Every structure is written in structure tokens, then in C-alpha cells.
């Protein structure tokens, strides 16, 4: 095949890989085929997964970078690290798992790089949402916790106790994009303290003046509390430049996000990093070289690309490649 007709890496056709779910940590990885096509793992390559979860993406990267590719996996959730550790044990020291926050990836992983690919599949894993004892779910009653790393920081119950009504309404509005934030915050504050997810969900449903609809009335409020408890948007803003700093020239950053607040941050960061080289000073000299080339002008839409996976419905994948000059 001539070079002109050979599919480029981003266009390579990859069969949707299917994966077995791990008993006790049932998480169905999203956009597996597209992520793999974009990162195109190769033998001897070095890859960093900043959101290891159950190791679904990591396993495929390791399989496709054998016999000697390396994957460094980071997660702040000890349960995820345990599950991924079991799943990836067969790869021996090709899989290096680290506990920590992805905002700290430069400090945690620099010694293993530079990397040919960095993946962030942000948000929560299914076990975090489905296991009542993690306290994320309005569907299953449990302690009101919501910490991805239960060993540190403030739980959702403590956060609600600490905030004023106005500050709580701001959190619910900003991170949940909930138009009824003020009346929900008022109802929550009136009923404090809260210790169980089920009781809080019922309070939100009543306080919001909910009329039957497809989504549960506590969906946005629980999303907002989870984002605040785990400092999720700040984590993402700090992780993106750290990820670029760890990429080898030609290495790719792939980010999967699950709601518009995250996707806006990712899109803005990648665009700026790709366009900054076009900025000129008053004398026409480039202010700085672009760090990235966008590989996906439009996000890859999970509902279109991975329609059989319900978790992919709101997923969006954006990818950029580090330029040699950066």
C-alpha cells in the first residue's frame, strides 16, 4: 500500500474489543476501540493511565504493547487499585500501579516516562456508584460519603454540615447545573445533619418540587456534591498540563469526559495548547510554539461510537498529539 493510502494512526480501524467484567468490580470500560486506535500502543512503548479504575483500558494497552511495553496506572481509589492489580498481574512488572491523584502525575510518574500515550477516563467507576457503602448513590441507600479515596478529605456529610445555605446552593448550581439549587439547598440545610444517601435523595426530591420525569430529581445534586467532595474540576485542570509535560514528542493525550463541565475544560485546554503558537507579539514574533496538534477536531461521541455500552452514552473522547517543538 502506498504511503499516501496507508491509514494514519487516528484512522486505523480497530475491532471493538470485548472484555470480561471482574467479579466484585463490574465496570464496563467505555470507547475501548476508539481509545486504542488513537493511542495505537506499540511494543516497547510507555503509557500512563491516570484513571486506572478496574484496569480495562490498561489491560488492552498492555496486550497491544507486548512483549515489552510499560503501563503506569494511577488511581486514588484503593479498591480500584486492588481490582486492577489482580487483572494486570499476568503482565508482571510491565504494569506499575501507583496510588495517588492524577493532578500529581508529574511527580508520581516522571521517572517512568516520557510517555507515548497518556489516558484520562475521568469520572467515577461503576463500583463507586453501585456499591451502596461508597455513599455515591441516590438509588442505593448508604453512608453519605462520596470520597473516591475514603482515607482522606471531607465526606459529603461533612461538606453539607460545613457549608452555609448560600454556598451549598452555589455548589449545586455550579457543579450540578441544577436550576432549582436554591430551594434544594434550603431544604437540605433545614434537615441537617444528613448521614444517609437515601434520606438525602428523598429530601432533594421533595425540596425540588419534583414532578415525575425520566431522570431522578437528585441526579444533579448528587453529581454536584461528588464533584465538590473530590475536587474533580480542579484535579482535571491541573492534570492536563501535567499530562502534556510527560508526553514524548509524537505521544498522545486521550481524555474521556462524561459531562459538559469536564468536556469544556478539556476542549478549552487542548485548543489553547494547539493554537498558542499562532499568537504573536506586537512585532509579529511567535509568543510560544504550540504544544499540541489536535487529532480530534470534534469529540468522538460515545453514543455514536460505542452504542451498545450504556456507560458510553454521555462519554466524549478528545485526543491531541505532542509536537516535537514543544
Ligand X SMILES: C[S@@+](CC[C@H](N)C(=O)[O-])C[C@H]1O[C@@H](n2cnc3c(N)ncnc32)[C@H](O)[C@@H]1O
Residues lying near ligand X in the complex (CB under 6 A) = 27, 29, 51, 53-57, 74-77, 80, 101-103, 121-123, 125, 148, 235
DSSP letters for 183-236: HHHHHHHHT----BHHHHHHHHHHHTT----SS-TTHHHHHHHHHHHTTHHHHH
Residue 34 or 75 with smaller CB distance to ligand X: 75
At closest approach, how far in Å is the CB of 171 from ligand X? 18
From residue 319, alpha-carbon distances to 22, 119, 132, 192 in Å are 28, 9, 34, 43
Q: CB within 8 A of 318, min separation 6: which ones?
A: 254, 255, 257, 263, 266, 267, 270, 296, 299, 300
* Pair 83, 105: CB distance under 8 Å: no
The residue sitting closest to ligand X, measured at its beta carbon, is 53
Residue 56 or 290 with smaller CB distance to ligand X: 56
How far apart CA 66 and CA 223 sit, in angstroms, is: 38
Residue 152 or 278 with smaller CB distance to ligand X: 152
With cell 508526553, the residue in question is 247
Does residue 114 have a cis bond before it (omega within 30 degrees)?
A: yes
Look up residue 269 and give its three cell numbers.
485546554
Residue 96 or 182 with smaller CB distance to ligand X: 96
With cell 486521550, the residue in question is 254
Residue 122 or 305 with smaller CB distance to ligand X: 122
At closest approach, how far in Å is the CB of 129 from ligand X? 10
At closest approach, how far in Å is the CB of 283 from ligand X? 41
Residue 116 or 121 with smaller CB distance to ligand X: 121
With cell 498540563, the residue in question is 241
How far apart CA 96 and CA 85 sit, in angstroms, is: 9
At closest approach, how far in Å is the CB of 229 from ligand X? 11
Look up residue 33 and give its three cell numbers.
476501540
At closest approach, how far in Å is the CB of 33 from ligand X? 13
At closest approach, how far in Å is the CB of 140 from ligand X? 18
Four-CA torsion 293, 324, 102, 56, nearest 10 degrees: 70
At closest approach, how far in Å is the CB of 150 from ligand X? 11
At closest approach, how far in Å is the CB of 190 from ligand X? 32
Look up residue 11 and give its three cell numbers.
484512522
Residue 80 or 184 with smaller CB distance to ligand X: 80
At closest approach, how far in Å is the CB of 237 from ligand X? 11
Residue 21 or 190 with smaller CB distance to ligand X: 21
Residue 136 or 180 with smaller CB distance to ligand X: 136
Q: CB within 8 A of 79, min separation 6: which ones?
A: 25, 127
Beta bridge partner(s), residue 92: none
Reference 66, options 83, 88, 86; nearest CA is 88
Amino acid at each position: 500500500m502506498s504511503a499516501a493510502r496507508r491509514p494514519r494512526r487516528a484512522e486505523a480501524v480497530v475491532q471493538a474489543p470485548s472484555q470480561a467484567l471482574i467479579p466484585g468490580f463490574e465496570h464496563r470500560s467505555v470507547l475501548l476501540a476508539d481509545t486504542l486506535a488513537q493511542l495505537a500502543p506499540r511494543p516497547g512503548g510507555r503509557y500512563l493511565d491516570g484513571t486506572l479504575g478496574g484496569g480495562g483500558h490498561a489491560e488492552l494497552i498492555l496486550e497491544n504493547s507486548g512483549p515489552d511495553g510499560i503501563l503506569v496506572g494511577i488511581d486514588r481509589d484503593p479498591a480500584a487499585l486492588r481490582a486492577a492489580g489482580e487483572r494486570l498481574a499476568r503482565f508482571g512488572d510491565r504494569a506499575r500501579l501507583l496510588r495517588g491523584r492524577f493532578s500529581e502525575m508529574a511527580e508520581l510518574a516522571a521517572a517512568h516516562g516520557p510517555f507515548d500515550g497518556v489516558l484520562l477516563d475521568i469520572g467515577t467507576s461503576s463500583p463507586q456508584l453501585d456499591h451502596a457503602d461508597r455513599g455515591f448513590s441516590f438509588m442505593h441507600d448508604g453512608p453519605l460519603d462520596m470520597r473516591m479515596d475514603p482515607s482522606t478529605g471531607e465526606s459529603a456529610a461533612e461538606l453539607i454540615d460545613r457549608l452555609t445555605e448560600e454556598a451549598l446552593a452555589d455548589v449545586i448550581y455550579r457543579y450540578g447545573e441544577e436550576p432549582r439549587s436554591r430551594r434544594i439547598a434550603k431544604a437540605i440545610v433545614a434537615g441537617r445533619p444528613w448521614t444517609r444517601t437515601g434520606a438525602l435523595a428523598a429530601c432533594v426530591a421533595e425540596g425540588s418540587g419534583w414532578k415525575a420525569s425520566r431522570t431522578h430529581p437528585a441526579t444533579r445534586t448528587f453529581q454536584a456534591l461528588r464533584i465538590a467532595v473530590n475536587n474533580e474540576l480542579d484535579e482535571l485542570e491541573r492534570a492536563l498540563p501535567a499530562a502534556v509535560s510527560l508526553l514524548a514528542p509524537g505521544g498522545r493525550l486521550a481524555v474521556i469526559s462524561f459531562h459538559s463541565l469536564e468536556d469544556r475544560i478539556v476542549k478549552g485546554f487542548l485548543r489553547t495548547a494547539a493554537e498558542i503558537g499562532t499568537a504573536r507579539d506586537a512585532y509579529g514574533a511567535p509568543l510560544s510554539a504550540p504544544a499540541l496538534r489536535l487529532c480530534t477536531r470534534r469529540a468522538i461521541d460515545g453514543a455514536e461510537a460505542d452504542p451498545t455500552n450504556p456507560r458510553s452514552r454521555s462519554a466524549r473522547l478528545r485526543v491531541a498529539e505532542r509536537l516535537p517543538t514543544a
